[in-house]
Structure 1
């Protein structure tokens, strides 16, 4: 959404209770035009999707921001709940959220820019660009495999030394050095290229390759070559002190056994059964933890479609399916890894995007509806929000209604 120009709609009788204690906001923009008519009523303010989110917020099952855009123009934007309960700061459409793993595509996009410039080769191995890795990794794990989560490198966040020391790292450099040390300690879990297994370590290593090849820090590279040309003015890898103190940021909330929301920045939750701990690190990394807003993620889509970040051929290479995995829904014909993105054919329409979740609280997802020219963003700061159900509802509504004009 452009700027902070907003309007409040009059609630329908159905959603009036949902507005109690919440702050619903819609972009004050003319309805975007679809290819066959005006915005479908079901996707506009007051439509089915809008009412669905309002009902969740009324039950305190949603806290955050949702946004739908068509051809880069906001159609529907809503914000509910509190960004910082202790200071009574509400979530707004422009609130900045920690994306968790939904920022992984920033790293993949940086790699693809270097591939397009002939600085990185998709078939080359990790050891071509970085030193100090075990032979099983250095000589066999390729850039392609790290982009598609078929590299076998696992998750550095489960490394004991990482868990013991990460909270003491207070610079971008010490964060990257510590993560790379954790990855170097661990050989691949399986023969690279033989199967899919989600790997934060693989994406983190790609960030280190970006730094080595470009001569810039990973963080400076993505700021200069992705965030700035895309016009993403509220997107960055912000540090924890700013996250805690700046009123523009949403604090993460997990829920205790009694269902009470707990600020994950001030009190981390118990570790998950997987071994993941809930502390918030000083700063994010190439594998996740970048911050953004709903509007900035729409700007990323717009920049990709307009060739500001990659030319058309490399944008297609970036976004198309490379390694299919079993679909979890009958509405999904095929899904799997693109290059740092998840590519999905939903109801016979191609989608690309990524989601993320934090143990400390909050889940996120952004989706590019490639052949419909729509963008959907869901950013929450509640651990108990069922983002998968919201995501499926968004996809169902967009693919069903965006292909026909609204009823007048």
Structure 2
């Protein structure tokens, strides 16, 4: 198989890139394909038994990662697992260049929006326990919402990015300048102040617009309904039951001090990269927010993103999800199955028939690729690019965690998709 070329040094918008990471072309379906169906037959022939040579050490995928790393176009950790067993695990680059700490297989990375997976699952768990209903108005559980939101936004709307909140700014309006927060309380007070000045972009339920603001609100909902902080809830009810010992919502102080956590390296206009955690006055040239974007200015991750995890922990998350350790079977199905069609933000113009329609689930995005079902989510911020994918029909898990900007991860994901599904 010919390897895709490494991406040129250009600056795609964060939104269009996340459209590919989280919306690679879903179909509703069960965690396991029914015997005798076309999906099951495809899955059986695509790698549920023999491990493709191209996914083994020294194979096409391994060689491509090394090619990118040798050109300094990739820094991070990649793990491909089948039925929970690691087939390929590689780490390249530096977690902390200043102190000469290399990235390792178990290095912890900021996940950006990939941690929306945990937010959605936390809400599904609370519904299973009878604490919430998907059709509940959010205002039933949270005070302080503007009247327009209080009267119309449901939990389902927030989970499926159909609330009308969008990215919390009017179309065409520049994002507000990022502030440096020195406590979680200060950070969330600013969130609520911003929310109360915002007008909905559309009537809830009539359209879809990706919304980190909406998932921030879900994090607040989890905290209110559960009676503990969002960060403590996810640790007690997701990370610990799944055996994710290194996963947490760390503070910026911990991010700077803990040598096990990778520092994001943000690309600059002059071609250099700077440490985001040590240079809060700097931002990345990548993304809609341009030079002013640096997620390390926040004190701690929220329901909207920036939990921390490792590649082994994210393989454990996939295994625990499939084993029913995080939700009962019916509610796991509700979590992974598509609810609404989610048109990719960047259209596939290649004419390829491999990519099917994409749907939004309750946290994950659920595409099909080469007639196989995937649940996935990607994340990107200054110096951060991450992707988690679980191939439901063949029990593969693919983790890509990078502490570089979103400039080389798209072709890595595309090659991953093709090799795991047996596409040519």
Same fold (TM over 0.5): yes
Q: What's 1:356 paired with?
A: 379
Q: Please, which of 251, 254, 258 is the counterpart of residue 246 of structure 1? A: 258
Structure 2 residue 311 is matched with structure 1 residue 294: yes
Residue from 333, 336, 341 that aligns with 2:356:
333
* 1:378 matched residue in structure 2: 400
User: Aligned residue for 2:331?
Assistant: 314
Task: Note closer, same or farther for the CA distance 1:196–1:132 as it changes in structure 2 (3 Å cut).
Answer: same
1:366 aligns with 2:388: yes
1:150 aligns with 2:150: no
1-structure distance, mates of 2:154, 2:231:
22
CA distance in 1, matches of 2:285, 2:273: 17
Give CA deviations for 1:83-127 in whole Å, capped at 9, x if unaligned. Answer: 111111111010000000010111110000011111111111111
Which segments of 5 or more consecutive residues in structure 2 lack a partner in the other structure? 4-45
Match of 2:366 in 1: 343
Provide the secondary structure at the position in 1 that maps to 2:357: strand
Are residues 1:399 and 2:416 paired?
no
The 8 Å contact of residues 127 and 134 in structure 2, kept in 1 or not, is answered as yes
Q: Is the 8 A contact 1:162 1:179 kept in 2?
A: no
C-alpha separation in 1, matches of 2:359 and 2:100: 40
Task: Output the CA distance in 2 between the equivalents of 1:36 and 1:266.
Answer: 45
1:230 maps to 242
| Contact 1:152-1:192 within 8 A present in 2 as well | yes
Q: CA deviation at 1:389?
A: 1.2
Could you tell which deviates more after superposition, 242-251 or 382-391? Answer: 382-391
How far apart are residue 387 of structure 1 and its match? 1.0
- The answer to whether residue 180 in structure 2 is matched with residue 167 in structure 1 is yes
Which of 202, 213, 217 is equivalent to 2:225? 213
Distance across 2 between alignment mates of 1:160 and 1:59: 34
TM-score scaled by structure 1? 0.85
Alpha-carbon distance, 1:273 to partner: 7.1
Residues 94, 270 of structure 1: alpha-carbon distance in 2 compared, 3 angstrom cutoff = closer
2:199 maps to 1:187: yes
Secondary structure, counterpart of 1:333 in structure 2? coil
Distance 2:160 2:277 in 1: 32
Q: 1:314-347 deviations in whole A, cap 9, x for unaligned?
A: 1111011111123533321111311111110111
Whose RCO is larger (CA < 8 A, sep 6+)?
2
SS at match of 1:66: strand
Contact in 1 for aligned 2:343/2:358 (Cα 8 Å): yes
TM-score (norm 2): 0.82
User: How many residues get paired?
Assistant: 367
**Structure 1: gaps of 5 or more residues:** 1-13, 15-33, 403-408
C-alpha spacing 1:162/1:223, structure 2 compared with 1 (3 Å): farther
Q: CA RMSD in A?
A: 2.3
